C-alpha cells in the first residue's frame, strides 16, 4: 500500500488544494489530508470546520482519508501513519525556496520523501489568505472554493448582517 500525506492548514480548503490532492490520489493508493494546527497561529475557521469542509468536498474521491495532524513533527506523523511521501503543490519559485529546506530536513529525520506537483496555472495565484481577504470584503470567490466553503462564507456574511 503506497500512502502519501498532503499536509496543510486548509483555512479554508480551495480549488488549488483540491487539484493537488486529486492528482496525488491518482499516484498513491491512499492520500491522507492532514489538517494541521499550530497553536501560535490564528485561524479563520476552527479545526472542526476545516475538517468538515475538507470532508464534504473530498467525499466523492476514492482513497482519501482526512484527519487532524496535531502539532507535532510532520516527518514523525508520516512515519507513524506509514506514509512514504509528502505531496506538496508548488505555486512559484518562492514556494520552492521555502519548501526545499523542509523537504531535506524531513528526509533526513525519517527518510520520508517530498513530491512536488506544479500548481495548475489557473489556480497558481490562489492562497487561503487571499481568498479570506476577498471573501471578507464581499468579493465573489465561487470560482476558487468548493461549495462547502462558499456556504460557510455566506453564513458568516449573513450572521454579520443580522
Ligand atoms: P500552509 O500550510 O502554509 O497554511 P495551506 O494550508 O494553504 O498552506 O496549503 C497547504 C499546501 O497546499 C501548501 O503547502 C501547498 O503545497 C499547497 N497549495 C496551497 N495553495 C496551492 C495552490 N494554489 N495550488 C497548488 N497547491 C497549493
Write out the DSSP string of the chain: --EEEEEE--TT--HHHHHHHHHHHHHSSEEEEEEE--TTS--SS-HHHHHHHHHHHHTTSTTEEEEEEESS-HHHHHHHTT--EEEEEE-SHHHHHHHHHHHHHHHHHH--EEEEEEPPGGGTT--HHHHHHHHHTT---TTTS-HHHHHHHHHHHHHHH-
129 annotated ligand binder: yes
Q: Is the CB of 87 under 6 A from ligand 1?
A: no
SS3 124: coil
> pLDDT by residue (tens digit) across 5-43?
999 999 999 999 999 999 999 999 999 999 999 888 899
41 annotated ligand binder: yes
pLDDT, residue 107, reads: 98
pLDDT, residue 161, reads: 66
Q: Is the CB of 17 under 6 A from ligand 1?
A: yes
pLDDT, residue 153, reads: 94
List domains and CATH numbers for the chain: 3-161 (3.40.50.620)
Q: Is the CB of 5 under 6 A from ligand 1?
A: no
**Is 41 known to be catalytic?**
yes
> pLDDT by residue (tens digit) across 39-71?
888 999 999 999 999 999 999 999 999 999 998
> pLDDT by residue (tens digit) across 80-139?
999 999 999 999 999 999 999 999 999 999 999 999 999 999 999 999 999 999 999 999
pLDDT interval class at 162 (50, 70, 90): low
58 annotated ligand binder: no
pLDDT, residue 100, reads: 98
Amino acid at each position: 500500500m503506497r500512502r502519501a500525506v498532503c499536509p496543510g492548514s486548509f483555512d479554508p480548503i480551495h480549488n488549488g488544494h483540491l487539484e493537488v490532492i486529486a492528482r496525488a490520489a491518482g499516484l498513491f493508493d491512499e492520500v491522507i489530508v492532514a489538517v494541521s494546527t499550530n497553536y501560535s497561529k490564528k485561524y479563520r475557521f476552527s479545526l472542526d470546520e476545516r475538517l468538515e469542509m475538507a470532508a464534504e468536498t473530498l467525499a466523492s474521491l476514492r482513497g482519501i482519508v482526512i484527519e487532524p495532524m496535531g502539532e507535532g513533527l510532520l516527518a514523525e506523523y508520516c512515519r507513524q501513519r506509514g506514509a512514504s511521501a509528502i505531496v506538496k503543490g508548488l505555486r512559484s519559485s518562492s514556494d520552492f525556496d521555502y519548501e526545499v529546506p523542509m523537504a531535506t530536513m524531513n528526509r533526513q529525520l525519517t527518510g520520508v520523501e517530498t513530491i512536488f506537483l506544479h500548481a495548475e496555472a489557473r489556480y497558481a495565484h490562489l492562497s487561503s489568505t487571499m481568498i479570506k481577504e476577498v471573501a471578507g470584503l464581499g468579493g465573489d470567490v465561487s470560482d476558487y472554493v468548493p461549495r462547502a466553503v462558499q456556504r460557510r462564507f455566506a453564513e458568516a456574511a449573513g450572521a454579520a448582517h443580522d
